[in-house]
């Protein structure tokens, strides 16, 4: 039973998070910051594109370093 | 986003998934037993239909802003993962997706397993191989249809686009009875990664309460900007000394996408 639960959890982790957890964590933090800025009536549309510009090269660099 | 853009985005994403599912079904049918592979595929399609029937109405009940936040987050994570792999492949740091090679590996794996009859299924291994392959790839199709469709209030059109993609690929697979290695899958994955990321950025920001300058027109800037950024990263990574250590690809392949 425990093995089956672990397998299901591993499947969903792989399905949602994928190869690099940093991307998932970075996206969640960027969305939380966007929400916070928006609530404070500060324009926040630029935050997700900026996070993309930071996250993608960082994740690629981590992948390249591992190989 | 217009209906045409919705159709193209869903169609392209679903073609990629359908090609992968077709390779698995063809391997199960060729190496094991066509009847078992077909039953497995039909069973997975039935399970996917049930998932759509249950989740479809539920998703459309979620308030649009909350839906865009969750969908945007998931699309952005998926899109960045696709783009990451595509850039690694295009820059020669990861082996390119090769349906012929995957097919050969699946055949070798399947050929070594013993045969066991369960009920109406002559070969249980062939059935499960086909069932799991179609279900897993199909789940991604379902996700794409529900997220794109519900955000644009047109799940029907998204489902039609997915259906067209699946039927087209399945017909081609049946006709040639071999993996669809001539489909430019790596390039399509690169394009789909860009589109998923762009829509994820757009809907995620809107869901979190941000307002885009120019409203929907911002997508027209986001898509080419992300494409250019991805191509720039490919060029930078190809230029670094370690490029091509895992998989040598010709220089012309960079423009060919992932």
Rank B39-53, B59-73, B143-157, B172-186 by mean pLDDT and report only the highest: B39-53
pLDDT of B8 higher than 80 = yes
The per-residue pLDDT of chain B, averaged, comes to 81
Residue A6 to chain B, least CA–CA distance (Å): 17
Neighbours of A43 (CB within 10 A): 12
Name the pTM for this structure.
Answer: 0.73
| pLDDT at residue A44 in the model | 94
Residue-wise pLDDT for B180-217, tens only, equals 666 677 788 888 889 889 989 998 999 999 999 988 88
CA distance B165 to B10: 9
Least confident of A51-65, B147-161, B231-245: B231-245
Average pLDDT over residues B152-169: 87
Judged by CB atoms closer than 8 Å, whether chains meet at A37 and B210 is answered as yes
Cα dihedral B246, B140, B192, B65 sign: negative
Residue-wise pLDDT for A3-59, tens only, equals 888 888 887 888 788 889 999 999 999 999 999 999 999 999 999 999 999 999 999
Judged by CB atoms closer than 8 Å, whether chains meet at B242 and A45 is answered as no
The band of B59, judged by pLDDT with boundaries at 50, 70 and 90, is: confident
CA distance B78 to B72: 10
Q: Does A15 lie at the interface with B, CB-CB under 8 angstroms?
A: yes
Provide the token pair at A67.
Answer: 């190989």
pLDDT of B248 higher than 70 = no
| pLDDT at residue B147 in the model | 82
Judged by CB atoms closer than 8 Å, whether chains meet at B205 and A23 is answered as no
Q: Which residues of A touch B242 (CB under 8 A)?
A: 64, 67
CA distance B99 to B140: 18
Judged by CB atoms closer than 8 Å, whether chains meet at B240 and A64 is answered as yes
Q: Which residues of B touch A48 (CB under 8 A)?
A: 76, 201, 204-205, 210
Please tell me whether the interface predicted TM-score (ipTM) of this complex is above 0.95: no
pLDDT of B106 higher than 60 = yes
| Strand-pair partners of B121 | B118
| pLDDT at residue B251 in the model | 36
How is chain B split into domains, by residue range? 3-256
DSSP string, B80-103: HHHHHHHHHHHTTSSPPP-HHHHH
| pLDDT at residue A66 in the model | 76
Question: Number of Cβ pairs closer than 8 Å across A and B?
Answer: 103
How is chain A split into domains, by residue range? 18-66
Residue B93 to chain A, least CA–CA distance (Å): 7
| pLDDT at residue B221 in the model | 92
């Amino acid at each position: 039973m425990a093995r089956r639960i672990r397998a299901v959890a591993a499947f969903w982790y792989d399905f949602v998070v994928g190869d690099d957890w940093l991307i998932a964590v970075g996206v969640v933090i960027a969305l939380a910051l966007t929400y916070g800025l928006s609530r404070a009536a500060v324009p926040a549309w630029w935050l997700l594109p900026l996070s993309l510009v930071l996250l993608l090269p960082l994740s690629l660099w981590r992948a390249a370093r591992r190989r | 986003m217009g209906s045409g853009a919705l159709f193209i985005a869903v169609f392209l994403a679903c073609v990629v998934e359908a090609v992968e599912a077709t390779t698995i079904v063809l391997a199960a049918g060729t190496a094991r037993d066509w009847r078992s592979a077909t039953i497995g595929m039909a069973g997975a399609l039935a399970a996917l239909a049930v998932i759509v029937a249950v989740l479809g109405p539920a998703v459309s009940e979620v308030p649009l802003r909350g839906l865009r936040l969750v969908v945007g987050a998931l699309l952005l994570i998926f899109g960045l993962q696709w783009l990451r792999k595509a850039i690694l492949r295009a820059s020669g740091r990861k082996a390119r997706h090769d349906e012929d090679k995957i097919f050969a590996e699946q055949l070798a794996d399947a050929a070594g397993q013993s045969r066991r009859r369960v009920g109406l299924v002559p070969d249980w291994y062939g059935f499960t191989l086909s069932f799991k392959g179609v279900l897993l790839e199909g789940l991604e199709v379902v996700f794409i249809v529900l997220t794109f469709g519900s955000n644009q209030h047109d799940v029907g059109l998204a489902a039609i686009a997915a259906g067209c993609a699946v039927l087209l690929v399945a017909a081609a697979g049946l006709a040639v009875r071999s993996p669809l290695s001539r489909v430019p899958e790596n390039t399509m994955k690169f394009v789909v990664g860009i589109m998923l990321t762009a829509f994820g950025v757009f809907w995620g920001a809107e869901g979190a309460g941000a307002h885009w300058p120019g409203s929907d027109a911002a997508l027209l800037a986001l898509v080419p900007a992300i494409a250019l950024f991805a191509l720039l990263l490919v060029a930078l990574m190809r230029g670094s000394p370690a490029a091509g250590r895992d998989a040598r690809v010709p220089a012309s392949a960079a423009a060919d996408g992932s």
